[in-house]
Structure 1
Amino acid sequence: MARLFWIALGAAAGVYAVRKVGKAAEAYTPAGVAHGLSDFGEGLRELADAIREGMAEREDELRLALGIDTGTAEDVEAGRLDPEAARRLLDDPTGRFDSRAR
């Protein structure tokens, strides 16, 4: 019974090792490299989209604070733009705009 256990364990370890080696070898084939590069490209696109979205949001906040764009009634009602928040935004342009912080 103990021999059967060790044989089964050895077979399972062998199958696991062969699959791992196969995956590693596949990663270095032209198709595997292309797949890895496409995944990397998708990640870069997602990062660029997130950065653009943050830049646009920050630009909108600064434009409202500087008075370049006028705020809508919705902005005033929601408390997004009040004079104190605009001053804080101008004093600390690298910080996040939060009209609730005092």
Structure 2
Amino acid sequence: MIRRLFYLSLGALAAVWVMRRLRALQPDHIAHRAADRVSGAMAGLRDFAGDAMEAAAKRETELRAQYGLDTGIDPTLPANHYLKDGR
């Protein structure tokens, strides 16, 4: 009798586990999890890029001040004004 009760509970447990695994494999669940992971990764990359750009700008300012590379660029002119056009 105890053996039958053991196998009955083991079968019920296996059925519950299989149903949960099958439910987790449904396309909407998979897409939702993938979107959450991608969203989290993109937020991390965005934070990293912002920190890297900020550090690079700070370091560039330090180097320009250290080596006296203030070019005296006029901020009112267009960005490509100082480029040679090949003529």
TM-score (norm 2): 0.57
Give the alignment's Cα RMSD to 1 decimal: 2.4
Q: Aligned AA for 1:22?
A: R
Deviation, 1:35, is: 5.9
Give the number of equivalent residue pairs. Answer: 65
**Moved segments of 4+, more than 6 Å:** none
Unaligned regions of 5+ residues in structure 2, if any? 67-87
For the residues of structure 1 that align with 2:32 and 2:19, how far apart are their CA atoms? 23
Unaligned regions of 5+ residues in structure 1, if any? 69-102
Of residues 5-14 and 50-59 in structure 1, the stretch that sits farther from structure 2 once superposed is: 50-59
Q: Does 1:52 align with 2:50?
A: yes
Alignment of 1:7-46 (within 5 A): 7-25=8-26, 28-29=27-28, 33=31, 36-46=34-44
Larger radius of gyration: 2
* 2:64 match: 66
TM-score (norm 1): 0.50
For the residues of structure 2 that align with 1:61 and 1:49, how far apart are their CA atoms? 18
